[in-house]
Amino acid sequence: MKFNQSLTHGKLVKRYKRFMADIILDDGTLVTAHCTNSGSMKSCLEPGAEVYLSKSSNPNRKLPYTWEMIKINEGWVGINTANPNTIAREILTENWINELPRFSLVKNEVKFDDSRFDLYAESDTEKWFFEVKNVTLKDGNFARFPDAVTTRGLKHLNTLVKAGKQGYRVVMLYIVQRIDVDAFAPAWDIDPEYSKGLVCAMKNGVKVYAIQVKVTPESIEPLRQLPYTL
């Protein structure tokens, strides 16, 4: 995924009300940027850290800037939760995961039952649903998900299982937007219900892939498939 504009550099002052962040730009201007990440953002909030923002061309938007990434441990952490779906679509269309088939069709946001999955795909003989999650939480050498309790995420797991029982191939795709980790695991201490749900989903046929991506001010590109443990 390549950014379609040059990003604006600054430093984080604070994040508040979940969806807002005050940023000092390099020219000294203080701006309030939209934060798409509704989680706790634990392990990726450091006042004074470098950040990059994108700017909307919509003149009617209340907050023209969107917070894209923050520099932690000398590396960029992608915190815009809208980007993983774009990255995941590119991963599927470019056949980046060897274990998956080549897809003839990939669509965004397809409804199933009372949920809407992030991606739907078709191979020669099978139909697939993919749910995509953004991962930024670092715990030692592990990337973990979620960083806050997510009843919506648990619902998605349960609906994937339901789709699998109706003949669809079903996948949880975790996009790990930081390079200072070596493996993936659910965050049992933060959301034990989601973690138990993931274990149950896997026992019922849901495949799991954790893809680490390299985040830079120019692009976000898949780097490697991480091992995972439950």
Q: Residues 88-147: pLDDT tens digits?
A: 999 999 999 999 999 999 999 999 988 899 999 999 999 999 999 999 999 999 999 999
Q: Which CATH architecture has domain 8-78?
A: Beta Barrel (2.40)
Percent of the chain with pLDDT strictly greater than 90: 97
Three-state secondary structure call for residue 221: strand
Describe the crossing of helices 151-165 and 192-203 by its angle, rounded to 10 degrees: 10
> What is the C-alpha separation between 168 and 212, in angstroms, rounded?
26
Query: Dihedral through CA 30, CA 215, CA 116, CA 148, nearest 10?
Result: -70
Query: What is the pLDDT, as a whole number, of residue 65?
Result: 98
Helices and strands counted in the chain (H then E): 3, 15
> What is the C-alpha separation between 78 and 220, in angstroms, rounded?
8
- Which whole-number Å values give the CA distances from 142 to 38, 84, 120, 138, 182, in the listed order? 21, 19, 29, 6, 6
Look at the pTM and tell me if it is higher than 0.85.
yes
Annotation: CATH topology of 83-226: Trna Endonuclease; Chain: A, domain 1 (3.40.1350)
Amino acid 186 reads P
Amino acid 164 reads G
As to burial, measured by CB atoms within 10 angstroms (0-12 exposed, 13-18 middle, 19+ buried), residue 107 is exposed
| Contact call for residues 82 and 99 (beta carbons, < 8 A) | no
Residue range 204-211: mean pLDDT, rounded: 98
> What is the C-alpha separation between 151 and 222, in angstroms, rounded?
28
pLDDT, tens digit (0-9, with 9 covering 90-100), for 30-63:
999 999 999 999 999 999 999 999 999 998 999 9
- Which whole-number Å values give the CA distances from 76 to 115, 150, 180, in the listed order? 32, 25, 9
On average, the pLDDT of the chain sits at 96
Q: Taking the domains of the chain in order of start, what are their residue ranges?
A: 8-78, 83-226
What is the bridge-based pairing of β-strands 75-78 and 137-139?
Answer: unpaired
